Amino acid sequence: MPAPERLVLPRLRWQPRFLPPRIHEFIYSKANLLVSLFVASVAYLLLAGQPELVRRAVAVFVFAALCWVLEVFPYPITGLMVPVACALTGVLPPADAFEPFAREVIFIFLGGLVMAEALVKFKLDRRLALYILRKSGGDPDRLVLLLMYTVGLLSMWISNTVTVLVLLPTVLTIISALPRDQPNIGRKLLLGMAISSCVGGIGMLTGSPPNLIAADALSSLGGFSFLQWAYYCFPIAIACIALSYIALKRLFPTGKVSMDLREVEAQAARLGPFTGGQIRTLAIFGATVTLFLVGENFERLLGLPPSLSSAAVVSILSVLMLFGAGLLRLEEVRGMRFDLIFLIGGGLVLGQALLRSGTAKLIGDAVGSVAGGAPLVLVLLLVILLTVLLTNFMSNTATAGIMVPIAVAVSGTLGVGPVPLVLAAGASASIAFLTPVGTPSTAIVFSSGGISKKDLLAAGLASGALIVLFTALWLSLVPAW
């Protein structure tokens, strides 16, 4: 039996943080802007006979959706435009149109952004990269699997987009050290990162904006906790990362090769012991995760009013601790992706407009009439497939803003509990890795230039099919909380 080919990794030269191009442009396409306005006007005219509020809400929805799909504006600018459009058309009063930008979910996301800045500042991302490389034992496929679970687990806590921004330079550093005649290793690393950042983000409430939109809807229907989300969705994330790894391994084989890690071991040794800043950052990160999971218990133990049971309170408490401990300064967070907050807020506003105007109920009734009498698993498949179709051609946050209210309406039409259908819409909005436009994390990985659209589509279809089937089966079978 021939010995595996030995790939000698040179010294890793760390890449700078990466941002996709065009991020600062205001209008990407004036022609597409005119198309979006024209189609929205046609949609308004075609709904003659429907309530006026429904017609206006649909026009706003069509315009916003096309702006996202056709990339008329940067995604966050479209998100910021939604409340203005709702107020100008009378779909929502101004106070209600801007209220979602101050909801708890916004501050949960903000806390994740700041935590990521601290992890990067103290080079904990580099320690993590070297640790993964050493644990791979030189096996490229094991390296891909370890990277996918690392990215997936981090994406549960600090947002999948932020995780990619933190770790992509490290992955590009590893790929730059690989021989040119082994392109499939780099493809699997980048595709695995894109897929696991999306799928891993499903696992915890803090992982992705669509989760926050779905949980916000369930909370308004009677309460939904951080632990409840983990109960339903953590198994989805863990199982689907494994399924995606199997698909990537079949699609992009690497043959019998191994990596010589002597230089990696030397670099790891030069890092030395953990510094005080690194230890304090990890301690705050660990305390934040603990409070996310069992904050309600500490609340009762200390006799506090409702506080630590709120993920938003815990997120901002972690921010205050990072600044209070001297680990971050204000000027160090000015470059954060604050613009993503506009995207999340726009998705929340769009969902509220569809609900308040009665549009979501009309769509829900139509879907319910088609799915009436079908088993729950088939209804879930229908919701998931529709969500996946939308989320790969527009923002995943906007997709959740559209599909979550529809899922609520469908559950009412069918007379079933809202949890499985709303979770199906919220979770499957993160299956946004078939095209570069579905989620910022996928767009950022694709913009690095290491994978083609063909690679992304092939990996996305193979992984996505397995994930869709597993998610529908799991949510139809898991016992209610």
Q: How far apart are CA 67 and CA 83, in angstroms?
A: 14
- Alpha-carbon distance values, 260 to 223, 264, 383 (Å): 52, 8, 47
Give the residues across from 260 on adjacent strands. 8
Q: How far apart are CA 470 and CA 372, in angstroms?
A: 22
Sign of the Cα torsion 185, 190, 191, 197 reads: positive
Q: What's this model's pTM, rounded to 2 decimal places?
A: 0.75
Half-sphere exposure of 463 (CA within 13 A, CB side): 35
List, as one string, the DSSP characters of 437-465: TS-HHHHHHHHTSSS-HHHHHHHHHHHHH
Rama region for 257: left / alpha / beta (φ>0; ψ in -120 to 50; rest) = beta
Q: How far apart are CA 378 and CA 384, in angstroms?
A: 10
User: Is the Cβ–Cβ distance between 365 and 63 less than 8 Å?
Assistant: no
* Closest CA relative to residue 293, chosen from 217, 218, 232, 205: 205
Q: How far apart are CA 228 and CA 276, in angstroms?
A: 35
- 438: pLDDT confidence band, cut at 50, 70 and 90? low
Q: Is 163 helix (H, G, I), strand (E, B) or coil?
A: helix
- The token pair at 293 is 């999971």
- Output 397 or 156, whichever has higher pLDDT: 156
State the pLDDT at residue 469.
96
- 3: pLDDT confidence band, cut at 50, 70 and 90? low
Q: How many Å is the Cα radius of gyration of the chain?
A: 23
Q: Of the segments 52-66, 172-186, 237-251, 332-346, which one has the largest average pLDDT value?
A: 237-251
Q: How far apart are CA 390 and CA 371, in angstroms?
A: 19
State the pLDDT at residue 23.
46
Convert 327-370 into a string of H (helix), E (strand) and C (coil).
CCCHHHHCCCCCHHHHHHHHHHHHHHHHHHHCHHHHHHHHHHHH
Residue count of the chain, please give it. 481
Q: Could you read off the pLDDT of 215-272 as tens digits, one per residue?
A: 888 887 777 888 899 999 999 999 999 999 999 999 998 877 777 778 778 888 888 8
The region of weakest confidence among 40-49, 113-122, 386-395 is 386-395
Which position has the token pair 């996918």? 148
pLDDT at 281 over 90: yes
State the pLDDT at residue 360.
78
